[in-house]
Structure 1
Amino acid sequence: MSNPVTFQKINAHKSINNFVSSFWLVENNSDQDYAVVVMPDASFDFVITKKKNEPLHCILMGINTTFSNAFIEADTRMMVINFKLLAAEYILKSSVADLLNGGQSLPDDFWNTEESDFNDFNLFAEKITEHIQLLSGKAIDPRKQKLSQLIYASSGEMTVKELSENAYWNSRQINRYFTQYFGLPLKKFCNILRFRSSFKQINEGNLFPELNYSDQPHFEREVKKLTGANLRTLFKNKNDRFIQVSLLGNL
């Protein structure tokens, strides 16, 4: 079966890029469900789903630490906001630790979302951007801001010790913060982000580690643990089943 699912992406405006990485529009306009493997990508997400002849459904998804099999259902459209770490405390003003590998339903009009938002994806991104700007008035703790910047800039390759030293923040306090707000330790989050950063090389057929994996077997073990598949299966990606490799690997 060829892939009936289409995607659009808008990168977050610089005014909110402490909190959001991107917006996605996902559409399956066919009459068949499409099977995919969802892999960890080091984000937590606000997902708005519109199925044919059904009301909107809003859900907040936590960070995933392992893969899951899923379907993009027939006649379904989704808009997704990919959040960065600082969004939990400073935008959502809530921990997402209890949502690890899961999600929580939100009111159907959360953040004033409505069915007409699907008419213009660009306007939706602008609307949410303005809303986040209004929510982001609180000053960010400089240690947390520096830590976040280092994590993303290094694609998760810096060690906990290096991050602690450069953010001027005790590693035990950092891990307490991560456990409290995200439900996992910093090292595990960085491992997931490092894996997500390898999608491009896998998509291009370069199956040797370019990031700071200790050796080839280490890279292969991490990939197997996070995806349930080996590197060659990910590269072949039959029917675009591993959709994040296809999408993020081409960016």
Structure 2
Amino acid sequence: MKTELEYISLPPQECLSHVIESIWMVRNHSEESVEAIILPDGKIDLFLFLDQEANFEIFISGICNEPILKQPFPKSVMFAVSFYPTAAEYIFKRSFTDSLNKKIILPPGFMEFCREDMQDFDIFYKKVDRTIQSLLTEPIDNRKILLFDLVNRSKGEIKVETIASETGWNSRGINRYFRKWLGITLKSYIDIIKFCNSLKQLKNGNFYPELNYADQSHFIRAVKKFSGSKPNVLRKNDNDRFIQLTTLSDE
């Protein structure tokens, strides 16, 4: 049985590409109540949620380093903005150390978002663009832009020492930054990104590491750590339980 998920994901405008990874929507057309699992992806996510009873909620989640169980909500829709970690400092201007693996319920009207924004995804996308541009009031430190660019372009196949050398930012200072704003170390963040970049091969049934894990046993341990499941369970993805695998492109 499938949960009949409709998924749309769009990149942000170029001027926001250092703080936003994507603006997206998931609509569940099914009447079935099936629990879902959100896997770690190294993002801070802002959600607008509307269920079939028209109950509306805005919430935000910080970085996750373990799988998060999402309660079943049939006939529901979720609009979301996935932010890069730089958004903690430059957009939200608050630390997310208290929301590691947690969600924080926000009041209606947060960032001027409301129930009516969920009537049209295109309108929501444009509102996100306007709102976040207005909040990005200072230039982002070039070292931080380069750091996250290095991690993402390498798919997590990069060492802390290399990042420190390339950015001119010593590893102690980098880890102070990560602990202050996100509640994790740079090494933990790199491991999350590497796991996230392994999802496509898992979806395709390839359980031997394509990225630089020491060996297959190391890879399987990492998969179990971040997903809570063995690789073959992710591959089956029964009832579309693992949201990122369900929405992952087959291309």
Structure-1-length-normalised TM-score: 0.94
- Aligned residue in 2 for 1:167: 167
**1:199-214 correspondence runs (5 A):** 199-214=199-214
Residue type of the alignment partner of 2:206: N
1:248 matched to 2:228? The reply is no
Partner of 1:213: helix, strand, or coil? coil
Query: 1:203 touches 1:249 (CA, 8 Å); kept in 2?
Result: no
Structure-2-length-normalised TM-score: 0.94
Query: 1:202 touches 1:249 (CA, 8 Å); kept in 2?
Result: no
Deviates more, 1:28-37 or 1:115-124: 28-37
1:67 matched to 2:67? The reply is yes
- Aligned residue in 1 for 2:133: 133
CA distance in 2, matches of 1:167, 1:88: 20
What does the per-residue CA deviation read over 1:149-189, in whole Å, with 9 as the maximum and x for residues that have no partner? 11221122211111111010010010010000000000001
Shift of 1:249: 5.0
- Aligned residue in 1 for 2:226: 226
**1:77-96 correspondence runs (5 A):** 77-96=77-96
Partner of 1:105: helix, strand, or coil? strand
Query: 1:10 touches 1:24 (CA, 8 Å); kept in 2?
Result: yes
CA distance in 1, matches of 2:60, 2:158: 28
Shift of 1:3: 1.8
Q: 1:52 to 1:239 in 2, by over 3 A?
A: closer
**1:1-251 correspondence runs (5 A):** 1-248=1-248, 250=250
Partner of 1:25: helix, strand, or coil? strand
Q: Which runs of 4+ in 1 moved over 6 A?
A: none
Residue type of the alignment partner of 1:35: E
Partner of 1:156: helix, strand, or coil? coil
Shift of 1:55: 4.4
What does the per-residue CA deviation read over 1:67-90, in whole Å, with 9 as the maximum and x for residues that have no partner? 133234023211111010111101
Residue type of the alignment partner of 1:91: I
Residue type of the alignment partner of 2:5: V
Partner of 1:34: helix, strand, or coil? coil
Unpaired runs of 5+ in structure 1? none
What does the per-residue CA deviation read over 1:213-244, in whole Å, with 9 as the maximum and x for residues that have no partner? 11111101100111121112211222222221
What does the per-residue CA deviation read over 1:98-135, in whole Å, with 9 as the maximum and x for residues that have no partner? 11010211121112112222221012111111111111
Deviates more, 1:49-58 or 1:227-236: 49-58
Query: 1:178 touches 1:185 (CA, 8 Å); kept in 2?
Result: yes
RMSD: 1.5
Unpaired runs of 5+ in structure 2? none
Query: 1:23 touches 1:125 (CA, 8 Å); kept in 2?
Result: yes
Query: 1:42 touches 1:189 (CA, 8 Å); kept in 2?
Result: yes
Residue type of the alignment partner of 1:90: Y
Residue type of the alignment partner of 2:32: Q
* Identity, % of aligned positions: 35
Partner of 2:219: helix, strand, or coil? helix
Deviates more, 1:167-176 or 1:48-57: 48-57
CA distance in 2, matches of 1:34, 1:54: 19
CA distance in 2, matches of 1:241, 1:53: 23
Q: 1:239 to 1:35 in 2, by over 3 A?
A: same
What does the per-residue CA deviation read over 1:182-203, in whole Å, with 9 as the maximum and x for residues that have no partner? 0000000110111001111111
Partner of 1:30: helix, strand, or coil? coil
CA distance in 1, matches of 2:231, 2:76: 30
What does the per-residue CA deviation read over 1:40-91, in whole Å, with 9 as the maximum and x for residues that have no partner? 1111100111123444211111111111332340232111110101111011
Query: 1:201 touches 1:249 (CA, 8 Å); kept in 2?
Result: no
